[in-house]
Amino acid sequence: MSVPTADDEAPVADGGDTLLGSVPDPAGALNTTGRQLLAELVSIPSPSSEEADAVAHLAGFFAEHGREAFVDDAGNLHAPGDDSVLLTSHIDTVPGEIPVRVEDGDSELGVPGPVLWGRGSVDATGPLAAMAVVAVETGASFVGVVGEETDSRGALHLIENREAPETVINGEPSGWDAISLGYRGIVGAEYTSSTPAGHSSRPESNAIDHATAWWERVRAAVADENGDAEPGGFDTITATTESMAGGLTDDGSAVAASMSARFRVPPSATPDSVRALVESCLDEGTLSWGASIPPHVASPRGPLPAALRKGIRAAGGEPTHLHKTGTADSNLYADAWGVPVVTYGPGDADLDHAPDERLPLAAFDRAVSVLTTACEQLID
């Protein structure tokens, strides 16, 4: 086992004042250390690039419990411990305000008892808070990373500057009784085209026509590649436009068009093979590619998933394994470090980024119990 050091990092000792007074909790459900930390972190807005306040509060939590904490150059929060297992989740959320409150019961989710509403309660402040509590309880290593919802800059900095742990549990919502073994990869592209300006009565295609025609060819090629598989499934490529712009340039001399697109990469493909497929559709215009994340599928065998399954059974559940169609930092850790990596955390992933994001507190409690049992198994 190795324990990372922080010789060149600045320690962080102070967190903010408690935020619980601002969270409506008529039944007094925020009555454990974990629930309190969860509610406090959800109450601190932390969209990507604005995580500093949440980082400081989380650092204060570790300091209060006698654990060293430091912030690296990317803004990640480290609480070094036993590297038999690294517990890591992301601190940032997507933008959006959801009034933070505790409500009793939820008929839509079909659960009794208190439910915490708020941005990040599911993705991924719930897993993050559970892991922080368990790291304090068990002595496991912990890192809260920044930027996962945008460019994974926190995870990329981590793998470039930290020694590999023995195993990794990455915090994302799987449901307290499920383990996520696989995620698709992702690669992003930027298409640009420009044509001379001309009268709209002329028959020649302009840059906007080229862009839309290219995208139709891409969609057709992706459909052919996927064959009879269900669209959007784990074993398919998914092509999605993120933005598109077009029109006369400011000087009126040309028509310009641009499009930003993302492609999800299944385990049967690679970022390079998807790039080649998309580039084969290019007739006019140019493509530039951003950074990519490869797909990852973990084995259900071995001590890591077995420890989580034991924890789920001990908490009264029957474990299931998931393959998810999105992309997570776990893919980067597995690719760079070559160690066992799985993803786990409380919450219904259907509520990721949703305007009604919320987490039953009983599910959070069970996830803390599951992670505690798992870490005790993994730490010698």
Structure tokens at 64: 């209060």
pTM beyond 0.85, yes or no: yes
- Segment (H or E) for 136: helix 125-138
| Per-residue pLDDT band at 19 (split at 50, 70, 90) | low
Q: What is the per-residue pLDDT across 330-363, written as a single tens digit (0 to 9) for each? A: 999 999 999 999 999 999 999 999 999 999 999 9
- The fold of 10-184+295-378 is Aminopeptidase (3.40.630)
- The answer to whether 64 is annotated as binding is no
Measured CA to CA, the distance from residue 96 to residue 212 in angstroms comes to 31
Measured CA to CA, the distance from residue 176 to residue 229 in angstroms comes to 29
Candidates 72, 92, 329, 348; catalytic one:
92
On whether the CB atoms of residues 172 and 330 are closer than 8 A, the answer is yes
Q: Is 148 a catalytic residue?
A: yes
The CATH number assigned to the domain with range 185-293 reads 3.30.70.360
Q: Which range, of 61-75, 133-147, 197-211, 269-283, averages the lowest pLDDT?
A: 197-211
On whether the CB atoms of residues 76 and 144 are closer than 8 A, the answer is yes
What is the average per-residue pLDDT within 282-310?
Answer: 96
- The answer to whether 123 is annotated as binding is yes
Domain locations along the chain: 10-184+295-378, 185-293
Evaluate if residue 11 carries a pLDDT over 80: no
Evaluate if residue 10 carries a pLDDT over 90: no
- The answer to whether 90 is annotated as binding is yes
pLDDT score of 17: 44
Candidates 9, 72, 82, 148; catalytic one:
148
Render the burial of 112-148: b for 16+ CB within 10 Å, e for the rest.
eebbbbbbbbbbbbbbbbbbbbbbbbbbbbbbbbbbb
- The answer to whether 235 is annotated as binding is no
Structure tokens at 354: 């949703």
What is the average per-residue pLDDT within 109-117?
Answer: 96
Q: Considering only residues 302 and 26, tell me which one the structure prediction assigns the higher pLDDT.
A: 302
- The answer to whether 172 is annotated as binding is yes
